[in-house]
Structure 1
Amino acid sequence: MFLDIFSEMQRAQRWTSASEAIVIRNALEQAKIADDLGYNCWWSVEHHGAGEFSLSSTPEMFNVALAMSTNRLRIGHSGVLTPFQINHPIRVAERAAFVDVLSDGRLEMGLARSSVCEWDTFGVPKEDTQPQFDELTRMLPKMWSDESFSWESNVISVPSVSIVPKPVQKFPRIWCMGMSEEGARTAGRLGVGFIGTTVMEPVAKTLKLMKVFAEGGQRREEEVAAPNDGFGLFTFVHCAASRQAAIDSRAAEAAMWYVNAAPGVLKFPRDRLLAAIRSEAIPGGQSWRQASVEGEADPACDPNDPHPVIRQLNRQYLGMAIDPEEAYEAITHVDSVIIGDAEACYDKILKFKEAGVERLLCLQQFGQLSHEQVCSSIRRVGEEILPYITTAEASPQRYPNRGL
């Protein structure tokens, strides 16, 4: 299994232009540390109008800086927003190839339909998003390889044009960034890899995506130029020096800040996300993120909810004080959230590897965690966990440094 890093570039407090610059520069420093320690890939999201939730509005620019500042770390775009009103296919192919050239063939190409907030911002009809996503996955390999490219379909028409530069890799791997079973099934059908998310959902639930992805692959379209069978998941990771240090870091609350902030920024109903955390089915099989917030009010926010994680989430959402140890204890029972000392983190990461996850995208910079805390976690995972997890052989069932 590969350990990657997933980056939102966020800051859990009001920021100024000066603090924006600090967050961006810190991210580059964190990536350099990851490069030195042997992490596999750095993934940068694309969000627009997300405020403190994500400064990563032009990841292709950051990826250029990353290409010029690192030596072996692969460079993931997670992902390019595929509606043509946001990113035209030709521009997508050109920018991606340019990054691949500057990085000497290290690009990983993630694609995303985006969500309600971006659809509203750019005036994208929801019904156009899936056909345009599908079409772009078919177009990219030809745009990267054909000397003269043209395309004619009921989705888009492109007259004959020379698209340059061409990537160093013949075909950079294409990934679908998604959350729903339908997204995983579509990725399998289109012959691209799939990277899903946990966001405090149980591992068993998220691993259903793996099964659905494989089912989609059995109905793969013909003539897929560059098939990718890879499967990965994104989750929160913070590795501290000890259990007490993990509590004191307030990383559990930082993860809860992310969960509480996401609905307002990305414009989806908070109750859908809470239902996913409870492992309840969402009507229509939608991803909680693709539901529209319009006409749906959040339910009563119960600070005494019987579910321990949702109880803490609701208290934070209401502005109530949270006990750091209580928040940490609630999170420890969520097997997909990796917060603790190296032993606790190893045990949870091992569960993903044993389930067959190829890539674990570790979100380590989230909420109010300081740059120093983030760098410390990146180093600790890289030095104390990564060597035992990324080996092709079976990893030890018990943390090798247990008791040291």
Structure 2
Amino acid sequence: MRFIFMSEGETQPGHTHEHRYRELVDEVLLAEEVGFDAFGTSEQHVAIGTASTSAPEVIYPYLMALTSRIRFVHLVTLLPTRINHALRVAERLATEDILSNGRVELGVGRGNTTLALRAFEVSPAENKAQQLEGLEVIRRALHNDVFSYVGEHYKIPPRGLVPRGLQKPYPPIHMATGSPESVRAAAELGVGAIVGGFYLGFEFIENMLRIYDDALAGATHTYPLQAEKIVAVAGGMHCADTRDEALRWARSLTDTVALSTDAYQRLAKLSSDYQYMGAVKDVDFTDENYMFNDSAGFIVGDPDDCVAQVQRFADLGADSLVMRIDGLPHEELMKSIEMFGKYVIPKFKNPRAVVRDSDDILADIRAARPAHYAEVEAFNNSKQQVTETATAGESR
């Protein structure tokens, strides 16, 4: 399983975005040090109270120059034509691929806040089609030496992408998926699916991943396959010394959840393409037990709790976890990142390297002794029989 640290640079009242960005840099550097596979942030415009990351394509190259191993995933780049022209996305992605020495990935989406969509005059009834056309433009530009495209939203004459990136065939591409229809579309396109973020529970996640697997198996793909099941733990991950401490800090994260999901119900009323988002109206965001244990939106607790919660996602077949680690004081975020990297990630990446309790090892040794002694006895008996046979032969 891949572990992806996500932050949106949430900035508390009274602080500055400058200071928060400098904290974010330190958090990414620590994440690389302790074993996270990737860092990602969303493209959020004119966000109030939840995110400050409006230009990931500017943030990433700075971080790429400071790191050497960790990958960078756009979570996600918005493809409505009034926000990002698909050809510009392809150019930026190829540039980042070069600057990172092949450590960048692209996630695409169409926007999930009315603040951003209305600011850029994006029609909620048209941006789904714009996203799909934009994704096709990006893949053609990255895959072909010369490409062109004619559709409702793009009409690009024959051209060649400059620059060309490093990864072969091109950087991995993923698509944000919130409904059975969209996760099926991602599988049929042969790109990764990013699921989650609706707090509808593990059964919902399991169903989405099953749909992806079934559709992937039945599809024929034009482009090189880049399949991956990515689950977004959007409420937050917080790992602390004790369960009580982790819960005490995590309770404040539910305010951000309520603020972000409020936009979902408004979008559901604006376009049939967003109707599925209205399901969050049935979620009781004040039910702490549900939110932290059953919503599939949080990983919260001491290291053992976090291991058990990650295992639930692994058992469902998730290939990667995107975990939002944000919205708390910088010192707490750093502690959480370090503890998760030190005590949780190794349990999934290299479990045999994790030092076990000596009493457990001694118990296994004691349990193995009878079989060992039986093997020794059988060996000695076999050896004695060979000796007796040889002696009998010599006497004859």
Shorter-normalised TM range: 0.7 to 0.9
Instruction: Tell me the C-alpha RMSD between the 2 structures.
Output: 3.0
- 1:339 is matched with 300
Residue type of the alignment partner of 2:335: S
Identity of aligned residues (%): 23
Q: Which runs of 5+ in 1 are unaligned?
A: 273-282, 292-297, 300-306, 313-326
In 1, Cα distance between equivalents of 2:64 and 2:359: 39
Q: Distance in 1 between matches of 2:188 and 2:172?
A: 15
Superposition pairs of residues 103-252 of structure 1, within 5 angstroms? 103-117=100-114, 118-170=116-168, 171-220=170-219, 222-223=221-222, 225-235=223-233, 236-248=236-248, 250-251=249-250
Change (3 A) 1:394 1:258: farther
Instruction: Sort the Cα spacing of 1:212 and 1:159 in 2 relative to 1 into closer, same or farther, 3 A.
Output: same
**In proportion to residue count, which structure has more helix?**
2
Q: Distance in 2 between matches of 1:374 and 1:165?
A: 37
Q: Does 1:385 align with 2:344?
A: yes
Question: Retained in 1: the 8 A contact 2:112–2:267?
Answer: no
For residue 285 of structure 2, give the secondary structure of its aligned residue in structure 1.
helix
The answer to whether the 8 A contact 1:242-1:341 is kept is yes
| Other-structure match for 1:311 | 286
Q: Which amino acid aligns with 2:285?
A: I
- Which of 264, 269, 273 aligns to 1:268? It is 264
1:363 maps to which residue? 324
Is residue 196–residue 232 contact of structure 1 (8 Å, CA) maintained in 2?
yes
**Aligned with 2:264: secondary structure?**
coil
With normalisation by structure 2, the TM-score equals 0.81
Query: Which residue matches 1:354?
Result: 315
Q: Detail structure 1 runs of 4+ shifted over 4 Å in the superposition.
A: 329-332, 393-396, 399-404
1:28: how far off? Answer: 1.3
Displacement after TM superposition at 1:15 (Å): 4.5
Task: Give 1:220 shift.
Answer: 3.0
Task: Report how far residue 216 of structure 1 moved.
Answer: 2.8
Report the counterpart of residue 288 of structure 1 in structure 2: 277
* Alpha-carbon separation, structure 1, partners of 2:274 and 2:80: 22
Equivalent residue runs for 1:15-30 within 5 Å: 15=14, 19-30=16-27
Q: How far off its partner does 1:342 sit?
A: 0.7
In structure 2, the gaps of 5 or more residues are: 361-396
Alignment partner of 2:300: what SS? strand
**Paired residue for 1:60?**
57
Change (3 A) 1:38 1:310: closer
| Change in 2 beyond 3 A, CA 1:400/1:178 | farther
What is aligned with 1:295? none
* Corresponding residue SS for 1:226: coil
Aligned to 1:9: 9
Residue in structure 2 matching 1:100, options 97, 102, 106: 97
Matching residue's letter, 2:208: L
Aligned length: 352
Q: Which amino acid aligns with 2:78?
A: L
CA pair 36-140 structure 1, distance change in 2 beyond 3 A:
same
Checking the alignment, whether the CA contact within 8 Å between 1:47 and 1:55 is kept in structure 2 is yes
For 1:92-120, what per-residue CA distance to the aligned partner results, in whole angstroms no more than 9, with x for missing partners? 00111111110000111100111252322
Cα deviation 1:244-293 (Å, max 9, x = unaligned): 32244x21x222112111145xx332898xxxxxxxxxx999432799xx
